[in-house]
Amino acid sequence: MITCDALVIGGGPAGSACAWKLHQAGLDVLVMDKAAFPRDKVCAGWITPEVVRDLEIDLTDYRNGRTLQAISAFRVGVIGDRDAVDVAYDHPVSYGIRRCEFDHYLLQRSRARLLLGRPATRIRRDAGYWIVNDDVRASLLVGAGGHFCPVSRMVNGDAAPAPVVAAQEAEFVATPARAWLTAAERPELYFCADLKGYGWCFRKEEYLNVGFGRFDARALPKATTAFVDYLKANGRIPPLESWRWRGHAYLVAGARSRDAVADALMLVGDAAGLAFPRSGEGIRPAIESGLMAAATILEADGRYSVENLTPYAHRLRARFGVGRVSQLLSRAVPERSAAAIGRWLIREPQLARHLLLNRWFLQPMSDLPPTRVIPARAPSRPDAV
């Protein structure tokens, strides 16, 4: 039996962030994931300076052998319109990364013990411990396995509690033979007129990532094809013979959220349904939730009752819950007016900058709870390996 203080199921940004902070505090942490890392991951792939700050990433070190594209501008438009707005900043507001590199970097940097290529197929509670696959025992279980996380299914059931966003994306190497027109430092965002979805065209050094996401999953294939045709017709991308589309789904924050806390159990990232509602960004909510979970775990000091872990749920609601004003505004805008309002917002440069980009995509800076560091200690049980 492999024994640990905390078992994190899922080695993505949420799980790695939580494991990193817990290991720093002296806990014996094991990360389990069904994939072997580095692994491919569907994602447009950008991180904000807040992510760099919260994870204390040395960008010079990260850039060594990995893709890191500074972003200091955006091109914003409406799908179907020929006009677009260019919004520039005087400093980097995001960084383009490749998830296969970024996730592997965070997982290795966490310094947690790793059990990779091992899906969690059986999870049960026994004598105050969590037993996974009958060969791993942990005092605390952290579900970080994304939208289809087995820990989340165990707590919340298989049915999604609210409509999910579905997305497709494709990534290509921008070889010299291809004349990519998208500027590397300026991702292009094109919104649906009703603001219920958007597409992107994003160059990250030698890679180009193109994708489209929307709440209506049934209309996704047709809408994605129309978006690609729109990019080609406007000269944003050259014609390509084939597209290798990859898809994923996620639950956004602010809907009927998943229960994120149970007895000696917590959910983080997409497992808790925390993607930002308008942009669909999941990396930053994943990392923030992982650090929030770690802070709560350390405050509990080994006593992982529901009551002692509930502060984490309060922190999630305070950070990711939809405010009353936003709810009232959503109800006040008739469906038939959404298209006109959407075009008006995007065509006005100041509104595009402050609402669509600053508020929806870049988001206000986070205020994470302080993490208490405790002295390192030996494994709590002699059979730990």
CA distance between the termini of the chain: 8
- With 0-12 / 13-18 / 19 or more C-beta atoms within 10 angstroms meaning exposed / middle / buried, residue 295 is buried
Q: Band of the pLDDT at 144, cuts 50, 70, 90?
A: very high
Per the confidence metrics, is the pTM higher than 0.75? yes
* Each residue's pLDDT tens digit, 217-247: 777 888 888 898 898 888 888 776 567 788 7
Q: Which of 97-101, 159-163, 240-244, 259-263 has the lowest mean pLDDT?
A: 159-163
What pLDDT sits at residue 162? 57
Q: What percentage of residues in the chain have a pLDDT greater than 70?
A: 78
The per-residue pLDDT for 241 is: 55
Confidence of residue 136 (pLDDT cuts 50, 70, 90): very high
Mean predicted lDDT score pLDDT of the chain = 82
pLDDT exceeds cutoff 70 at 334: no
Give tens-digit pLDDT for 262-283: 999 999 998 998 877 666 678 9
Average pLDDT over every residue of 202-221: 85
Q: Say what the pLDDT of residue 252 is.
A: 62
pLDDT attached to residue 275: 77
> Under CATH, which architecture does the 2-71+95-161+253-322 domain have?
3-Layer(bba) Sandwich (3.50)
What pLDDT does 178 receive? 55
Alpha helices in 112-268 (DSSP H): 150-156, 220-233
Rounded to 5 degrees, φ, ψ at 94 are -160, 170
At 384 the pLDDT is 32
Where in the chain are the domains? Answer: 2-71+95-161+253-322
pLDDT at 108: 97
pLDDT digit string, tens, across residues 168-194: 888 888 665 455 667 888 999 998 877
298 by DSSP, 3-state: which?
helix
Q: Is 363 left (phi over 0), alpha (psi -120 to 50) or beta?
A: left
Tell me the pLDDT tens digit for each residue of 23-55: 999 999 999 999 999 998 878 888 999 999 999
- Which of residues 285 and 215 earns the better pLDDT score? 285
C-alpha span between 203 and 208 (Å, rounded): 4
Q: Are 327 and 381 in contact (CB under 8 A)?
A: no
Q: How confident is the model at residue 206 (pLDDT cuts 50, 70, 90)?
A: confident
